[in-house]
Amino acid sequence: MKKYLQILALLGTSLCLTACGNLKNSDLANNAKTSSNSNAKSYQTTDTGNNGYTVLLKNGHYVTSPIAGLTATNNNNSVDSRELERGLVDISKGVYSTNSYVFQEGQYITANMANEWLGRKSKNNPSGLNPEAGTKKNYRPYYLEEIFEQDYLTGSGSNYHIGGISIGLAINSIDYYQKVKDGPEYQAEISRSQQKQFGQQAAEKIVSRLRKKKALKKVPITVGLFAKESKDSLVAGTYFLSGTAAANSSKITKWKTIDTQAEVLPTVGNKKAINSSDASSFNSFKESIQNYFPNVSGVTATLRYENGKLAQENISITTQFYGYEQIQSFTRLVLSTAKKYLANNVPIEIKIGSVNDIQALVAKETGDSGYQVHIYGGE
318-343 tens-digit pLDDT: 988 778 888 899 999 999 999 999 99
Centre a 10 Å sphere on the Cβ of residue 22 and count the other Cβ atoms it contains: 13
Q: Is the dihedral of CA 269, 271, 276, 282 positive or negative?
A: negative
- Average pLDDT of the segment spanning 97-101: 95
Question: Could you tell me if 114 and 106 are in contact, meaning their C-beta atoms sit under 8 angstroms apart?
Answer: no
> What pLDDT sits at residue 34?
35
| Percent of the chain residues past pLDDT 90, beyond the cut | 68
> What pLDDT sits at residue 8?
44
> What pLDDT sits at residue 379?
54
Mean pLDDT of the chain: 87
